[in-house]
Structure formats: C-alpha cells, structure tokens
Chains A and B, each alone.
Chain A
Amino acid sequence: MGGIVLKTTDLTKKYNNKAVVDNLNIEIKQGEIFGLLGPNGAGKSTTMNMICSIVRPTAGEIELLGKNPWKQKKEVIHKVGYIPQELAVHGNLKAWENVELFTSLYGIKGEQLKKAVNESLEYVGLLERKQEFAKNFSGGMKRRLNIACAIGHHPELLIFDEPTVGIDPQSRNFILDKIKESNKRGATVIYTSHYMEEVEAICTRIAIMDNGKVIACGTSEELKRLVNGDDEHITLEEVFLTLTGKKLRDYTE
C-alpha cells in the first residue's frame, strides 16, 4: 500500500438542517479496494458526490490525491473515474461514440483518443460491438459500457456506485474481475454495493455507514470479529444487519 489517496475530515452535508453525512472521517490508501456499505439513505451516494465535486460539503475537508477537489478541481478531477449508478450513456450513440464523448471530456484527442476508445471497449469486452447503438444493448452490456466511458483517461482513482445493479451473474462476475484487474494495474477503487458477497469478494477494506456516519470500518474479518468475537462463522450480511438493524429503510431522495 502506498500513500493516501482520499482523506475526509469531519465531512458533513446537511439538507434542510438535517445531516445526511455527519462528520465523516475516512482514509483510503493507494492500491486499496475500499467498500462502502450502508442501507438506503445512509449517505453513501452523497459522500461519493462530495468526493467527485458534484455536491458541495456543508462542512469538513476532502483531500483527494493530495488536492482539495473543490478548490483545485482542474488539477485533480482528471485523475478520477466516476461510474454512476445510472446507465449514464446515450442510447442514440454507438458504443464507440459514447466512449469517445466521455473520454474527450478529459482533454484526450486525436489518435490518442481513438486508442483510448478501443482500449476501453476491449477492456469491457465490447470492442466487437463498438458499431452498435447503446439502446440495443442488454442491461449487462450497458453496465460494461458505463464503465468503459469512465476509464479511457486512465484514472488513478475509480469510484463505482453500485455498478452491478440489475444484471445477470455472468456480467456481474465479469465486472468484478475487471475491477480487480484495474486494481492490480494500480488504480485505487472505491466501491459501493448492496451485495455483501461482492464486497466481501473484492474489497480489501470495508466501511459500514448508517445515518451519515461510519459505524464500523476494517477488513471483512475484522468486522466479523467486531460483531461475533473470535467466531468468524458469520456472514458479512449478518454483520451488516447486526450493526444497522433490521428495520426497513424507506428512503426517498
């Protein structure tokens, strides 16, 4: 593990005086796959959005790759690859056109852009389908295209916001393999999901959030020990439910 890629200090976001993220302190080191778990409305997406300079924090500090993403956005944002939860692609553009459009936002052009487009599509297994319109793709293919649109500029930090929602096991497995591969190539990864087994399978460290706060953080084993002592015969889901409770979370954005 290398230096610190992301550090938040007392990060807070309030809407109508209600704290959605409440004095959040996390530190992510280079080379980690950091999982962020939490029930609906826990503040995961808001945290991601603050890190990506989409939502301005009410209070606290963010240090992203040594810079403040709100004050030094131009210097740091091109080092971030953001894969939103939505399928943020244009259905009426072909696969390669989508990747070209979003990769060009980071100042890549000409031959370098063409190369980046092909590499990204190959990476997600869509190179042979590059001439097809995104609207004709299956859910899994759209998810992969969504990823391809965010990696063409070779970011140092990849932020995945629930990238495997609503897809078949093969596509899910493919995406998880690719996340691990990206990590091996040197990218630090922040990953949010509701699928515990996914998080357990790929994340080196996990933070569980609830009501805007990190209520537990550590490796999968550390979290299990925290709940069940030395007995590790407990699933991450059980840990999660023990820490966050079984009450239904009816959350509206």
Chain B
Amino acid sequence: MIRYLIKNNFKLMFRNTWSIVVMLLGPILVIAVLSSAFTELMKSYEGVDEFSVGYRLQEAADGHMIESAKAAGEEAGILFYEYPEGDIQDVMEKNELAGFVEFSEDGYVVYKSGDYEVEGITLEYFMHRAMQEGVNAVLRMEEQDVTLPVTELEFMPAVDSVDYYGIIYIVYFCWCCSICATGVLGNEKKYGIVRRFQVSNISETQNYLSKFIPLTLVVSVAMAVTTGITILLFDIHWGNPILSAFLVFMMIMAGNALSLMLYNISDNLVITVIMLFMVVWFMGFFGGSFETYMFSSWPDLLKQLSPIYHGNRALVELSCMGKSDYVAGSLLYSLAVTVICSVIAIMAGSIRKRGRA
C-alpha cells in the first residue's frame, strides 16, 4: 500500500511547479547576492599579516609544548612574546598585541582584542589546532619531549566568499525546502482527502513515511540540480563530493522530519511554514548562515546547539581543508533530529487522529 502512496505523492510534489522553481532559483539568487556582497569581508580574513601576541606561563605549565607552539606560530605568522608580569589588558594595550595566551597546567586561555578581531579568531583557531596536534603527538610518541610537527600543522586556509555562501545557502535551503510538500498537505486537508485515509487501514507511520520518503527524494534531486547549477555558474568548490553529498542528504532528511513534525503538531500549513522558517532562521543565525561562523561572536554553546552550524562548518572545512572534525557531529546531529522529529510527528499524528475522533 505504501509503495503507491509514495509513488503518487512523489508525482504530486514534482508537479508542484512553483515550489520546485523556488527551490531551484532561491539558493542561486541568494548565493549570487551574498557572495558578491561579502567578498570584501572575506578578503579581510584572507589577508591577515604577521601579528604579535603575548603569552604567560603559570608554574605548572608544560614548557616543551609552549616552545613547540611558538615555533609553529612563527611558521604561521604569529609571533609569541613572553610577558610574565602585569595586568593582561594593560600589557595588550601598551604593546599593541593582537592577543594574549595564558598557559596553565590544565590548558590555556586566549585573550582577544576588539581592535584585532580577525587576528583574534586566527589565534584562537591556531591554538586549538596546535594543542590538538601536541596532544596527539604525546599520545603517539609516549614521551615528554614533544616537538610539534610544524611543517604538517595545517593552518586553516582562507575560504573564498563564493565558496562559503555557495555551500552555506545550499545547507540553509536544505532545512527549509520541505515547502515542496505544501501542495500535497494543503490538498489533503482542503479537499477532505484526509477522510479517505481515515476510512482505510493506513497507519500513522505509513502515512508519515508516504510523505517523508518522496519529500526527501524530491528535495534531494532539486538540491542536486541547484548545486550543479551553482557550481557551473559560480565555480563553487565542494570538498570530498561523496561525503559532502551525504552530509547534505542527512540534513535534508532532518529538515523534512522537522517540518512534518511541526505540521502534525500544529495541523495548520501556515503556522507550519512560519514556525519552520523561524526555527531555521535562528539555527542559521547562530550557525553562520548570515554572519560567517568564523567572525561570529556568539557564545560557542549557542553555535554548537545549531545543527546548521555543524553542517556549515563540516562542509566549509571539507571544501577548504579537505577534512573536518565536524563531519561526525553533523551526521549524528542530523540523524538525531530526523529520528526524534519523526517519532514526535507520528505520535502527534496519532494523538490528533484520536482527538479528532
């Protein structure tokens, strides 16, 4: 039974011309506008020159690691100078330092200056990578005298604004492209088709899957076409095509599950669309869809809460670095959203059916 439902819902979604057009043209237009508008901003990120930062060692800090970090910093254009005394803020202002790192036994603290925003982010990222490499080196070598593999230390390459927004807006539209289902859902309610389903043996799970599966297929095809067009038009570089496609596919599933859950809870198409766009907007707001996540000053916790942040970061890093620590997180996050939203959607549908009855 479900095979025919899926097949016909798939046809209905594909024949909903307007939503397909919006899905195809929306990302292309947004990418064209934003990538050109933010070219200068992204260039400022590209063009970070050599800069100075201060550091201070607390008594139990690991001196070997710090020496290695200093050497790696020089390679990356970050010059470390020791300032053992004085108020950190005063020292930074007096010596025009772009940042300051305080090393302790447990780790390190990065101080950033508002006047050197880009350098501060660069320093933060460098420290994160340097410490990670250092810890890995310790684990590998099992000895105290650790030298950071300076030449292999991958500093984050600058991402081009076209690549950034080309990727980010495909992700953004993946989360809200379930508008393809509005035709089917609207017709079912408007013309009393829901009643036909009620006078049959179709279960709520079958009903849910008969929409979720074709919606995922339609959106995946549409997004693949859009991505292909944007690659041709704007020369957008995606990293690892198979992994990137899989990440995008997982986010499409999550977005669809989210929207079907909202619909089953609200039972109102207008409310669903408004709620979906609001949720996705907030996720995008904290996740780097408008302000690039590199320059974003939002607390890390807020960023981490946004599934879009994980997806954006994984895909952008795959594009410019060839690998990303955010891939697994993004996949797990998408999977969790898909499963949880699907379960809630089915439960809400069943409860609504009983309530209506």
Identify the A interface with B (CB < 8 A): 49, 52-56, 73-74, 77-78, 80, 82, 84-93, 97, 100-102, 104-107, 109, 113, 149-150
Contacts and interface: CB of A to CB of B under 8 A. Distances in A.
A150 B354 CA distance: 23
B199 A93 contact: no
7 contacts: A52-B199, A55-B357, A88-B192, A90-B184, A92-B183, A100-B8, A105-B1
A86 B4 contact: no
B15 A92 contact: yes
A53, A80, A86, A104, most chain B CB atoms within 10 A: A104
A88 B12 contact: no
Contacts of B8: 90, 93, 97, 100-101
A140 to B, nearest CB: 17
Nearest to A98: B8
Interface string B1-42: 101110010011001100000000000000000000000000
A84 B195 contact: yes
Interface residues of B, number: 26
B196 A88 contact: yes
A94 to B, nearest CB: 9
Contact of B4 (A80, A87, A100): A100
B290 interface: no
Nearest to A133: B15
A159 B174 CA distance: 43
B191 A88 contact: yes
A105 B197 contact: yes
Interface string B131-154: 000000000000000000000000
B12 A92 contact: yes
B357 A53 contact: yes
Contacts of B94: none
A109 B187 contact: no
Interface of B: 1, 3-5, 8, 11-12, 15-16, 183-184, 187, 191-193, 195-202, 354, 356-357
Contacts of B11: 92-93, 97
Contacts of A106: 1, 200-201
Contact of B199 (A82, A97, A107): A82
A53 B197 contact: no
Contacts of A77: 199-201
B201 A73 contact: yes
Contact of B193 (A49, A78, A85, A88): A88
A53 B353 CA distance: 11
A54 B198 contact: yes
Contacts of A87: 191
A119 B195 CA distance: 23
A84 B200 CA distance: 13
B20 to A, nearest CB: 12
Nearest to B193: A88
Given A90-B191, A102-B196, 11 more contacts: A49-B195, A53-B198, A54-B199, A54-B356, A82-B199, A85-B192, A100-B8, A101-B4, A105-B5, A109-B3, A109-B4
B357 A54 contact: yes
Given A82-B195, A84-B195, A109-B1, A56 B201 contact: no
The 10 lowest CB-CB distance pairs between A and B, nearest first, are A86-B192, A104-B4, A105-B200, A56-B357, A82-B199, A101-B8, A92-B15, A88-B192, A52-B199, A54-B198
B196 A104 contact: no
Contacts of B1: 104-107, 109
Contacts of B196: 82, 84, 88, 102, 105, 149-150
Contacts of B195: 49, 52, 54, 82, 84, 86, 88
A138 to B, nearest CB: 16
A78 B192 contact: no
A80 B195 CA distance: 13
A22 B354 CA distance: 21
A104 B5 contact: yes
Contacts of A105: 1, 5, 196-197, 200-202
Contact of B192 (A56, A84, A92): A84
Contacts of B3: 104, 109
Contacts of A73: 201
Nearest to A153: B200
Given A53-B357, A80-B199, A92-B183, A113 B191 contact: no
A52 B194 CA distance: 13
A54 B197 CA distance: 10
Contacts of A49: 195
Contacts of A92: 11-12, 15-16, 183, 187
A242 B197 CA distance: 39
A82 B184 CA distance: 21
Contacts of B202: 105
A50 to B, nearest CB: 9
A8 B60 CA distance: 85
Contact of B12 (A56, A74, A84, A93): A93
A56 B354 CA distance: 8
Contacts of A107: 1, 201
Contacts of B199: 52-54, 77, 80, 82
A113 B16 contact: no
A83 to B, nearest CB: 9
